[in-house]
């Protein structure tokens, strides 16, 4: 922190505006945000923007190469797969599976985590210590193993693995939220508010939640990137999305046996997963930096 | 420190108890016949069934069944695998070293590369070198590991033909099984083709290790960089500078010691992610480890194997977690409290 403060401009804007100003200055974070919004819109509007039916099998156009090669057709920019389905449409549709389901998963995990974290953070003594140890156990089971167990019990499928990923994400949310609440409870203004007669619910809803939402956002972005990678990995292994769903990871494993004939059908879905995860990570990092800079100014 | 150790060990017992409860209840939650799921036998006639029911105490209440389960686990009777009809514990003993070997080398590689790069990136965060290291770390952090593995196979194995794409060692070399750790076994073996075998094993090891190490390395770079930047702001660094130490001395005596302490803990926290990634790597490179075996088990509906895999892998992760915590407390007296 600098010793001298020069008040050259009015700096009494709302925290959110300040955050946005700091965020805007980072080009990488802005690129990430634009990509993120793009993926989000595509995942919402996927059924409307696909040029062809993603499940329609055209017998005359099997394994059409992408349009940049000489044999390709301009109507099928990324070509078709071995069943004659348009790859571009399948990838657009896949956005709502891989990216959209990741968002839903994280939203669910965040809500549950907030509930459990608040319970753990506001309770003391034996209850909180028992809670912690159960969490320790949950943290030690690798997410893929958890997914395997859930698939073994209730069978494969996109929804089932979503539950597995939600469960795997939950412990770190609860841990993070609990620690954040612990930190907040030590503040003097919480004591002052309590002396004014506030009960636990007041403290939680008026003081703690507004003060920890930034940490929540950062945790959520980290979790979204994990969720995308996990959904794609489970789809790749065949536990997640089942045929004919065009989840990106499942698309890679579908076209794996055609890797010599059509390498682009492996390369492009992977590139999409990578871009989606990168955009989320860029936004997360940008937010972290922006919050840090705002605190310093 | 002694008190701390006891507390930690007590905690570990508690967590292991909860784990055994989970594994025990899985036998009932899996679809299919409970006697089959517990024993791993495919064909059970009426006579045998009666014997097994009394052996597993299935006619008693759940508490009795749980105690019988614990007793069996402790005595090494983990049931048979549905797929091979071999004792599970035997199979796991053969498979686990392969996974541990891969994970250990990847972890080592991530330290050797990640820590120096993280320090360099923190030293001049706004220079071109610092920025490009951060950008590389960001890219590595976002790569889907199975796709990354496929890309490397396509490039190094298929296009260039430099490196093998599957297995631990070429079938030409016969290595007597001793510890299960390939490099150690080759070193110990009494064979005339030791150098060639070692060379071949290293070639097989290279790609999987690089793929598995990518994520931990980038985590390490980011973590060390952030920790370093944080420590660099502290007042004791300013004091050390004011005393007249040069940059190198400050870095070595005050900066590194404080910045690298949390790294020990990070290993424990990242270990379960590492195992998940190792499972995926094993599938891609056909590495005969426990991860690929578990994933095959789900395709084969091999429920006893999944239960045993859960027990082994989680116990391993819990132990490593605990060890790193204790190590961290050993180096950092502040962590012993609480």
CATH of the domain at B238: 1.10.3720.10
Least reliable range by pLDDT among A73-82, A90-99, A109-118 = A73-82
Please name the residues between 229 and 248 in chain A that touch chain B, using a CB distance below 8 Å: 229, 232-233, 236-239
Q: Name the stretches of chain B with pLDDT < 70.
A: 337-338
One domain for residues B178 and B327: yes
Q: Kindly report the nearest CA distance between residue B197 and chain A, in angstroms.
A: 31
pLDDT tens by residue, A63-72: 888 888 888 8
Q: Kindly report the nearest CA distance between residue B175 and chain A, in angstroms.
A: 31
pLDDT tens by residue, B25-58: 988 888 888 888 888 888 888 888 888 888 888 8
Q: What is the pLDDT of chain A when averaged over all its residues?
A: 87
Contacts B144 to A, Cβ<8 Å: 229, 232-233, 249, 270, 273-274, 277
One domain for residues B317 and B196: yes
**Does the distance separating the beta carbons of B19 and A137 come in below 8 Å?**
yes
At residue A1, does pLDDT exceed 60?
no
Helix B290-299 × helix B303-331 angle, to 10°: 150
In this prediction, residue A3 has a pLDDT band, given cuts at 50, 70 and 90, of low
Helix, strand, coil percent values for chain B (each to nearest 5): 75, 0, 25
**Does the distance separating the beta carbons of B142 and A252 come in below 8 Å?**
no
For chain B, what is the domain count?
Answer: 2
One domain for residues B235 and B328: yes
- The DSSP call for residue A196 is T
The Cα–Cα gap between A135 and B69 comes to: 24
Number of A–B residue contacts, CB under 8 Å:
119
Q: What is the pLDDT of residue B213?
A: 95
**Residue B86 falls within a domain, yes or no?**
no
**Does the distance separating the beta carbons of B144 and A277 come in below 8 Å?**
yes
The Cα–Cα gap between B69 and B326 comes to: 30
One domain for residues B238 and B124: yes
**Residue B85 falls within a domain, yes or no?**
no
pTM of the complete model: 0.90
Contacts B275 to A, Cβ<8 Å: 142, 144-145
Contacts 24+ apart (CB under 8 A), A209-218: A211/A184, A212/A177, A212/A180, A212/A181, A212/A184, A214/A19, A214/A287, A214/A291, A215/A176, A215/A180, A216/A110, A216/A114, A216/A177, A216/A180, A217/A287, A218/A284, A218/A287, A218/A288, A218/A291
Contacts B27 to A, Cβ<8 Å: none
Structure tokens at A200: 């636990």
**Does the distance separating the beta carbons of A133 and B144 come in below 8 Å?**
no
**Does the distance separating the beta carbons of B22 and A133 come in below 8 Å?**
no
**Residue B79 falls within a domain, yes or no?**
no
Q: Which residues pair with B87 in a beta bridge?
A: B80
**Residue B48 falls within a domain, yes or no?**
yes
One domain for residues B152 and B277: yes
One domain for residues B111 and B57: no
One domain for residues B186 and B114: yes
Tokens 């997360």 map to which residue?
A284
Q: What is the pLDDT of residue A6?
A: 64
Helix ranges, chain A (H): 15-24, 27-49, 87-95, 101-122, 126-140, 143-154, 158-185, 188-195, 200-202, 209-237, 248-254, 264-296
**Residue B261 falls within a domain, yes or no?**
yes
Q: What is the pLDDT of residue B325?
A: 84
| Residues A230 and B288 sit within 8 Å (Cβ to Cβ) | no
Structure tokens at A237: 């292994």
The verdict on A137 touching B (C-beta cutoff 8 Å) is yes
One domain for residues B208 and B307: yes
What is the interface pTM, i.e. ipTM, of the complex?
Answer: 0.88
**Does the distance separating the beta carbons of A256 and B276 come in below 8 Å?**
no
Domain hosting B63: range is: 2-74
Contacts B309 to A, Cβ<8 Å: 145, 148
Omega of the bond prior to A244 within 30 degrees of 0, cis?
yes
**Residue B64 falls within a domain, yes or no?**
yes
Q: What is the pLDDT of residue A176?
A: 87
Using the 3D structure, point to which of B16, B44, B74 is the last residue of a domain: B74
A262: phi then psi, degrees, rounded to nearest 5: -135, 75
Q: What is the pLDDT of residue B284?
A: 92
**Does the distance separating the beta carbons of B22 and A263 come in below 8 Å?**
no
One domain for residues B64 and B107: no
Q: What is the pLDDT of residue B291?
A: 92
The Cα–Cα gap between A126 and A139 comes to: 20
Residue (of B80, B282, B307, B280) closest to A149 by Cα position: B307
Among B14, B30, B317, the residue with its CB nearest the CB of A140 is B317
Q: Kindly report the nearest CA distance between residue A144 and chain B, in angstroms.
A: 5
Among A140, A145, A225, the residue with its CB nearest the CB of B142 is A225
Q: What is the pLDDT of residue A62?
A: 84
At residue A274, does pLDDT exceed 70?
yes
**Residue B212 falls within a domain, yes or no?**
yes
Contacts A238 to B, Cβ<8 Å: 299
One domain for residues B35 and B140: no
Best B142, B153, B270, B289 residue to mutate vs chain A (most A CBs within 10 Å): B142
The verdict on B338 touching A (C-beta cutoff 8 Å) is no
One domain for residues B121 and B45: no
Using the 3D structure, point to which of B45, B74, B103 is the last residue of a domain: B74
Q: Which whole-number Å values give the CA distances from A119 to A108, A130, A264, in the listed order?
A: 17, 12, 49
Quick check: helix, strand or coil at residue A71?
coil
- The DSSP call for residue A97 is I
**Residue B246 falls within a domain, yes or no?**
yes
Best B8, B29, B144 residue to mutate vs chain A (most A CBs within 10 Å): B144
One domain for residues B203 and B111: yes
Please name the residues between 294 and 333 in chain B that touch chain A, using a CB distance below 8 Å: 294-295, 297-299, 301, 303, 306, 309-310, 313-314, 317-318, 321
Structure tokens at B215: 């994520």
Among B30, B146, B317, the residue with its CB nearest the CB of A153 is B30
Q: What is the pLDDT of residue B177?
A: 83
Using the 3D structure, point to which of B74, B108, B130 is the last residue of a domain: B74
**Does the distance separating the beta carbons of B294 and A148 come in below 8 Å?**
yes
Our measurement of the distance from residue A250's CA atom to the centroid of its chain's CA atoms, rounded to an integer in Å, reads 18
Contacts 24+ apart (CB under 8 A), A155-160: A156/A238, A156/A239, A156/A240, A156/A242, A157/A240, A157/A241, A157/A242, A158/A97, A158/A101, A158/A231, A158/A235, A158/A240, A158/A241, A158/A242, A158/A245, A158/A247
In this prediction, residue A182 has a pLDDT band, given cuts at 50, 70 and 90, of confident
């Amino acid at each position: 922190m600098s010793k001298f403060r020069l008040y050259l401009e009015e700096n009494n804007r709302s925290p959110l505006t300040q955050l946005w100003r700091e965020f805007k200055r980072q080009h990488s974070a802005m690129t990430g945000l634009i990509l993120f919004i793009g993926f989000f819109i595509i995942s919402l509007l996927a059924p409307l923007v696909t040029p062809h039916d993603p499940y329609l099998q055209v017998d005359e156009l099997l394994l059409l190469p992408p349009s940049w090669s000489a044999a390709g057709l301009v109507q099928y920019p990324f070509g078709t797969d071995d069943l004659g389905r348009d790859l571009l449409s399948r990838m657009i549709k896949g956005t709502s599976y891989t990216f959209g389901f990741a968002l839903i998963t994280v939203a669910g995990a965040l809500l549950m985590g907030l509930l459990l974290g608040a319970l753990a953070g506001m309770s003391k003594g034996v209850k909180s210590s028992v809670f912690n140890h159960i969490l320790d156990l949950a943290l030690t089971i690798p997410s893929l193993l958890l997914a395997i167990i859930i698939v073994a019990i209730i069978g494969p499928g996109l929804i089932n693995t979503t539950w597995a990923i939600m469960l795997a994400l939950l412990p770190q949310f609860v841990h993070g939220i609990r620690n954040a609440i612990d930190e907040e409870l030590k503040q003097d203004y919480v004591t002052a508010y309590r002396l004014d007669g506030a009960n636990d619910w007041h403290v939680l809803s008026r003081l703690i939640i507004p003060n920890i939402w930034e940490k929540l956002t950062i945790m959520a972005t980290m979790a979204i990137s994990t969720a995308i990678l996990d959904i794609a990995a489970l789809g790749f292994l065949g536990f997640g999305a089942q045929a004919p769903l065009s989840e990106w990871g499942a698309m890679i494993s579908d076209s794996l046996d055609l890797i010599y004939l059509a390498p682009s059908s492996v390369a492009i879905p992977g590139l999409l997963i990578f871009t989606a995860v990168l955009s989320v990570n860029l936004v997360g990092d940008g937010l972290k930096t922006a919050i840090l800079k705002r605190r310093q100014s | 420190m002694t008190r701390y150790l006891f507390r930690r060990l007590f905690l570990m017992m508690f967590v292991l108890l909860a784990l055994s409860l989970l594994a025990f209840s899985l036998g009932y939650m899996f679809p299919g016949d409970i006697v089959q799921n517990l024993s791993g036998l495919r064909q059970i006639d009426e006579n045998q069934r009666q014997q097994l029911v009394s052996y597993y105490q299935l006619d008693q209440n759940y508490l009795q069944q749980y105690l019988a389960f614990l007793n069996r686990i402790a005595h090494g009777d983990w049931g048979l695998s549905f797929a091979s009809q071999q004792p599970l514990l035997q199979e796991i003993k053969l498979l686990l070293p392969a996974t541990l070997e891969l994970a250990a080398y990847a972890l080592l590689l991530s330290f050797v590369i990640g820590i120096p790069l993280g320090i360099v990136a923190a030293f001049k965060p706004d220079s071109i070198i610092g920025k490009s290291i951060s950008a590389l770390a960001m890219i590595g952090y976002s790569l889907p590991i199975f796709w990354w593995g496929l890309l490397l196979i396509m490039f190094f194995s298929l296009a260039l033909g430099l490196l093998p794409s599957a297995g631990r060692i070429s079938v030409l070399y016969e290595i007597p099984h001793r510890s299960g750790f390939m490099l150690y076994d080759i070193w110990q073996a009494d064979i005339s083709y030791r150098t060639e075998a070692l060379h071949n094993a290293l070639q097989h090891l290279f790609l999987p290790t690089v793929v598995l190490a990518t994520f931990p390395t980038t985590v390490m770079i980011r973590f060390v960089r952030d920790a370093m930047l944080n420590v660099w702001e502290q007042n004791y660094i300013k004091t050390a500078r004011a005393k007249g130490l040069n940059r190198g001395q400050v870095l070595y005596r005050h900066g590194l010691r404080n910045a690298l302490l949390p790294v020990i803990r990070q290993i424990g926290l990242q270990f379960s992610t590492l195992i998940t990634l190792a499972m995926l790597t094993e599938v891609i490179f056909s590495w005969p480890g426990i991860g690929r075996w578990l994933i095959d088990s789900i395709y084969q509906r091999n429920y006893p194997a999944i239960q045993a895999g859960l027990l082994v892998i989680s116990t391993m992760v819990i132990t490593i977690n605990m060890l790193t915590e204790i190590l961290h407390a050993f180096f950092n007296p502040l962590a012993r409290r609480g």
